[in-house]
């Protein structure tokens, strides 16, 4: 409301002294009083230019037209609009804050407030009185606050979580005083919605986590201790997310508790933690399995060697020779024992590979002679199965880097499988050719093949795929050992197969240190 002053009744010296006193008091407070006659455009009592803007009395503007020249061009039209709005009777007085040019060339912020106090009989304003106040310092302070708020807002937009301020009176009145913009991205609710209804978060929280969260907040309020929380929250889109955060409380003068805090979506971190725990449990179980198999394999070899030894003694006992039937039965015992011993050896190899305890002695290995030896070793098995072994197709000077003993084991296993899973009248062949960086050995058969849906599980320990119930003997660990040995020699195993057509097992091995380049010049082509 306008300031009302009671002045002396007379118009003599006392009245003038009183007006001088009032003007001096207002000027001391940074406010100038003015009076304007719109009919003559004469402004009287204007000392605002002198006191507020630094002009001399001679430079003082005595008309509204002249005063408008002091007002910033961008603010003039709004200033006139405010006056016209009041002149039409829409508001009891008008007020406006604008920039005015001071004597020193700087712009000062001026707050103008006025009211029409006299009208002509025709309803035209004839006398307007008002005040001018310098509010530059307030504008500067507001600008600094706005700049700080904008800086805080920019910072909050780049923080991955949500910065907030939460106030709790202890009487059920709680509200978010501030929430950063990332609120929508993190929990699916806008900052304005959360500040309008602070209980939104409680309604979104998983019921199993609600009690602990409230208890933690109450304990923090009682002790004014930092509050750390971790709970699940159901977003508006139905997605369940983990929310974690921390806040520091302080007590206001009215007894309310004000928390300044931060929270973020930690779902990925929780899932990673669970995955790590699961992996640790699986690794422990796998290690326990490996240790058990290793110990059992060693324990089984001792009595098995004794059984095979006694069977061999029975076969060689000239003083008490066996009958033909007994000799056949003892031969079966020895054959079964040999098969079991081979399985135990594969099992030991598998456990050593999985535990990283299998040591290799790698050197430059001439490949063609090794391949021919392996083929000749399994030829009796091929003949017994009516499978034709084709001659090895490899350049004579191919040399690879690997462990000769383990490489022989790899080739024997692959060629043995090519015979075992073949068909009467089928064929198998071993080929080798130089490729960039090494040599590829291929074992090709015309056997039963492998269905496409089973290829991804090929090489899993104890998984015989479609042969689990077939008459073909096997444990399902030979190929696992083969793949492990190849990888230990810095190689890789690839398989191509078609059900009812056959399979091709390709082994890539690194080239020998000195002859890799020479081997590449004499490569041969794989049969199509």
Q: What is the CATH number of the domain that holds 482?
A: 3.30.565.10
Give the residue from 246, 265, 284 where a domain finishes: 265
**Residues whose CB is less than 8 angstroms from the CB of residue 139 and which lie 6 or more positions away in sequence, other chains included:** 97, 109
Average pLDDT over residues 304-310: 82
Helix (H, G, I), strand (E, B) or coil at 163: strand
Whether residue 493 sits in one domain with residue 416: yes
Which of 211, 233, 265 lies at the terminal end of a domain, its last residue?
Answer: 265
Question: Does the residue 153 lie in any domain?
Answer: no
What is the per-residue pLDDT across 19-37, written as a single tens digit (0 to 9) for each?
A: 555 555 555 556 788 899 9
CA 137 to chain centroid: 47
**201 close to 180: Cβ distance less than 8 angstroms:** no
Question: Which pLDDT band holds residue 372 (cuts at 50, 70, 90)?
Answer: very high
- Say if residues 109 and 101 touch (Cβ distance below 8 Å): no
Paired strand residues for 240: 234
Number of domains in the chain: 4
pLDDT at 16 over 60: no
For residues 56-77, average pLDDT: 89
Residue 140 scores a pLDDT above 80: yes
Residue-wise pLDDT for 229-270, tens only, equals: 999 999 888 889 999 999 999 998 888 899 998 899 999 888
> Looking at residue 96, which CATH number applies to its domain?
3.30.450.20
Q: Are 445 and 502 in contact (CB under 8 A)?
A: yes
Q: What is the pLDDT of residues 417-437, one digit of tens each?
A: 999 989 999 999 999 999 998
Look at 468 and 61; give whichever has higher pLDDT. Answer: 61
* Domain closes at, from 265, 283, 309: 265
Q: Is residue 468 located within the same domain as residue 432? A: yes
Residue 347 is assigned to a structural domain of this protein: yes
Same domain, 187 and 327: no
- Complete DSSP assignment for 496-511: EEETTTEEEEEEEEEB
Which residue did the predictor score with more confidence, 312 or 302? 312
Is 185 domain-assigned? yes
Nearest to 433 by CA among 402, 396, 407, 386: 396
The reported pLDDT for the residue numbered 471 is: 47
Query: What integer best gives the mean pLDDT of the chain?
Result: 82
Residue 23 within a domain: yes
Query: Which range is least confidently modeled, 3-7, 287-291, 388-392, 450-454?
Result: 3-7
CATH of the domain at 328: 1.10.287.130
Asked whether residue 526 is domain-assigned, the answer is no
The DSSP 8-state label assigned to residue 439 in this structure reads: E
In this structure, the answer to whether residues 110 and 202 fall within a common structural domain is no
Same domain, 257 and 282: no
Whether pLDDT at 215 is above 70: yes
Q: 28 and 175 share a domain?
A: no
Per-residue pLDDT at 481 exceeds 60: yes
Q: Provide the 3-class DSSP secondary structure of residue 265.
A: strand
Whether 139 maps to a domain, the answer reads no
408 located within any domain: yes
Q: Are residues 166 and 54 part of one domain?
A: no
> Does 144 fall in a domain?
no
127: which 2 tokens? Answer: 């006398």
Give tens-digit pLDDT for 160-181.
788 888 988 766 678 888 888 8
State the average pLDDT over residues 70-75.
95
**Nearest-angstrom CA–CA distance, 262 and 248:** 9
27 lies in which domain range?
13-134
Is residue 97 predicted with pLDDT exceeding 60? yes
In the block, which residue shows the tokens 């083929």? 375
Considering the entire predicted model, what is its pTM? 0.44
Calculate mean pLDDT across residues 444-453: 87
Q: Is the CB of residue 378 less than 8 Å from the CB of residue 415? A: yes
Q: Are residues 408 and 313 in the same domain?
A: no
Q: Please check whether residues 351 and 371 belong to one and the same domain.
A: no
299 and 445 in a common domain:
no
C-alpha span between 488 and 481 (Å, rounded) = 10
Residues 220, 84 share a domain = no
In this predicted structure, the answer to whether residue 137 has a pLDDT above a threshold of 60 is: yes
Show contacts of 296-300: CB within 8 Å, 24+ apart. 297/344, 297/347, 297/348, 297/351, 298/348, 300/340, 300/344
Is the same domain home to 281 and 215? no
């Amino acid at each position: 409301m306008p300031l009302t002053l009671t002045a002396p009744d007379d118009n003599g010296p006392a009245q003038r002294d009183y007006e001088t006193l009032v003007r001096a008091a207002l000027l001391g407070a940074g406010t100038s009083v003015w009076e304007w006659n719109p009919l003559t455009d004469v402004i009287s009592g204007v000392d605002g230019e002198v006191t507020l803007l630094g002009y001399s009395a001679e430079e003082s503007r005595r008309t509204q037209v002249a005063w408008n020249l002091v007002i910033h061009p961008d603010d003039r039209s709004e200033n006139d609009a405010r006056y016209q709005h009041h002149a039409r009777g829409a508001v009891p007085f008008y007020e406006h804050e604008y920039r005015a040019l001071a004597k020193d060339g700087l712009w000062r912020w001026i707050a103008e407030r006025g009211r029409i106090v006299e009208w002509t009989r025709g309803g035209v304003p004839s006398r307007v009185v008002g005040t001018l106040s310098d509010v530059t310092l307030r504008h500067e302070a507001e600008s600094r606050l706005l700049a700080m708020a904008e800086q805080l807002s920019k910072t909050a937009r780049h923080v991955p979580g949500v910065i907030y301020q939460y106030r709790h009176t202890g009487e059920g009145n709680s509200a978010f005083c501030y929430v950063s913009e990332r609120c929508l991205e993190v929990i699916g609710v806008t900052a304005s919605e959360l500040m309008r209804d602070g209980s939104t978060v409680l309604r979104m929280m998983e019921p199993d986590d609600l009690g602990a969260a409230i208890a933690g907040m109450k304990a923090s309020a009682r002790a004014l201790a930092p509050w750390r929380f971790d709970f699940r929250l159901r977003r508006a889109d139905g997605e369940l997310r983990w929310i974690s955060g921390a806040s520091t409380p302080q007590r206001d003068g009215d007894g309310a508790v004000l928390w300044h805090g931060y929270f973020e979506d930690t779902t990925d971190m929780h899932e990673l933690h669970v995955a790590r725990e699961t992996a640790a449990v699986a690794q422990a179980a796998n290690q326990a399995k490996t240790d058990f198999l290793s110990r059992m394999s060693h324990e089984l070899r001792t009595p098995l060697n004794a059984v095979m030894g006694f069977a061999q003694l029975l076969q060689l006992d000239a003083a008490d020779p066996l009958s033909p039937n007994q000799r056949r039965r003892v031969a079966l015992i020895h054959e079964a024992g040999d098969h079991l011993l081979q399985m135990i050896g594969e099992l030991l190899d598998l456990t050593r590979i999985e535990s990283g305890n299998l040591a290799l002695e790698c050197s430059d290995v001439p490949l063609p002679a090794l391949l021919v030896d392996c083929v000749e070793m399994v030829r009796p098995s091929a003949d017994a199965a009516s499978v034709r072994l084709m001659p090895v197709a490899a350049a004579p000077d191919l040399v690879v880097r690997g462990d000769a003993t383990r490489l022989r084991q790899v080739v024997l296993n692959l060629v043995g499988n090519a015979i075992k899973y073949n068909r009467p009248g089928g064929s198998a062949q071993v080929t080798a050719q130089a490729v960039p960086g090494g040599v590829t050995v291929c074992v090709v058969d015309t056997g039963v093949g492998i269905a496409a849906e089973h290829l991804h599980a090929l090489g899993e320990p104890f998984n015989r795929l479609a042969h689990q119930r077939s008459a073909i003997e096997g444990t399902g660990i030979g190929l696992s050992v083969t793949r492990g040995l190849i990888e230990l020699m810095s190689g890789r195993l690839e398989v191509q197969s078609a059900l009812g057509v056959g399979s091709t097992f390709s082994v890539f091995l690194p080239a020998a240190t000195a002859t890799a380049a020479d081997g590449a010049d004499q490569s041969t082509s794989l049969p199509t």
